[in-house]
Amino acid sequence: MLPEIQIIKTQNPKQKPEDESTLGFGKRFSDHMFLIEYTEGIGWHNARIEPYAPLQLSPAAPVLHYAQEIFEGLKAYRRADGAVQLFRPEENAKRLNSSAERMCMPTLDVEYQVKAMQTLVKVEEDWVPHCEGTSLYLRPTMIAVGEELGVHPSNHYLYFIICSPSGAYYKNGMAPVRIRIEDRYVRAVRGGIGAWKTGGNYAASLKAGAEAAKDGFDQVLWLDGRENRYVQEVGAMNMMFVLDGKLVTAPIEDCILPGITRKSIMQLAADKGMTVEERPIELTELFEAYEKGTLTEAFGTGTAAVVSPVGEMCYKDRSMKLSGGKIGPVAQAMYDALVGIQTGALPDPYNWITPV
Ligand code: PLP
Ligand code: COI
């Protein structure tokens, strides 16, 4: 039996953002957080919503030394009628459990995770922003919090959810991004952890990201870690290419994060009559298609990034400029269809919405 959620409300509510148009991503946090603990032999216990505050951890906690950590990202959206809804939260809960399994951590019942998200968002309802392009970003996280330095799975875990009222992930909103195709560093290798949402993947990407930023790029597009031959994904989003009028994306295997936005866009595109292909994409194929004029668009997909058009992709000294630096028609159509469902402006024939 999973525990009831105790609710302890803050006595000192924070000031809500006055100007929602300048929120940015993940900079402000709401008044409360959800927490539940796991101890081997006892199971999950001590579930509560309490005031948002720093965590107390042993300096010997395995998360701090060996990165036994997993996380998720999803959003609560405000509809025009004022109601609040979540987009495919059970998919995030299932993916968290898949990451838990990969990182030798305990799983947590999917329905219970969704109930925790709904209960927390209900408490934080006033923190869900109203302005177009904004939402309350939820960050479910699980960390190993035992007290022991041996390298093996911990016997004590903390799962928590924090909420951040957020706007666009990239500083220029939905404007086309500039991407460096990375040729020196790799993100994921066969048999590694690339397909799971664990902090180590992001730590490993920081140096390439920082060097790319210094050279004027927004993100890095990773190639496979074996041959530097196939395109994989970008640091915080999956990649889609419009090739010969078809929507093409790389297969997940064990190197690419199985994005929930990716899966949703593949379905929306197919239902709009587009041919959708999930297959290995060679970098040389992209250059050849670009020369021929059959690579017409590239865009990223992700919870934080939504649908993010790519204006330019550079590999060493070669460059591909796409859609005349504008938002391409497929990216725009996918953005409109997805955001329409997420915000309740369009009907939801797929049952992707969970009311709060
Ligand atoms: N790839 C990576 C590495 C990510 O961090 C994310 C963000 O969650 C995605 C892809 C997109 O996944 P989703 O659409 O589930 O947010
Ligand atoms: C998300 O889109 O939810 C992510 O987790 C991406 C990133 C901010 C790490």
CATH code for the domain in which residue 299 is found: 3.20.10.10
CB–CB of 202/73 below 8 Å?
no
- Which of 133, 166, 199 corresponds to the end of one domain? 166
Q: Residues 30, 118: one domain?
A: yes
Cα 240 from Cα 261, distance rounded (Å):
11
Coil, strand or helix: which one is 150? coil
Backbone conformation region of residue 108, classed left if phi is above 0, alpha if psi is from -120 to 50, else beta:
beta
Nearest Cα to 183, choosing from 313, 323, 290? 313
Q: Give whole-number Cα distances, 85 to 35, 189, 230, 327, 354, in Å.
A: 21, 37, 37, 27, 6
In a domain, 355, yes or no: no
Atom of ligand 2 nearest to the CA of 197: 5
Going by pLDDT thresholds of 50, 70 and 90, the confidence category of residue 18 is confident
- Which of 108, 133, 166 corresponds to the end of one domain? 166
At 196-242, the pLDDT tens digits run 999 999 999 999 999 999 999 999 999 999 999 999 999 899 999 99
Q: Give the total residue count for the chain.
A: 356
Q: Residues 158, 213: one domain?
A: no
In a domain, 57, yes or no: yes
**Nearest ligand to the C-alpha of residue 234?**
1
Full domain range(s) for residue 189: 177-343
Q: Residues 162, 181: one domain?
A: no
Atom of ligand 2 nearest to the CA of 169: 8
Ligand 2 centroid vs 305 CA: distance in angstroms?
8
Task: Tell which one of 303, 307, 308 to mutate to probe ligand 2, the residue whose CB is within 8 A of the most ligand atoms.
Answer: 303
pLDDT given for residue 212 in this prediction: 97
Q: Residues 159, 183: one domain?
A: no
pTM: 0.96
Take atom 10 of ligand 1 and give the residue whose Cα is closest.
237
In a domain, 172, yes or no: no
Q: Residues 235, 320: one domain?
A: yes
User: What is the separation of C-alpha 331 from the centre of its chain, rounded to a whole number of angstroms?
Assistant: 18
Q: Residues 81, 26: one domain?
A: yes
Domains: count for the chain: 2
Q: At what angle do helices 260-271 and 329-342 cross, to 10 degrees?
A: 110
- CATH classification of the domain holding 57: 3.30.470.10
Atom of ligand 1 nearest to the CA of 264: 14
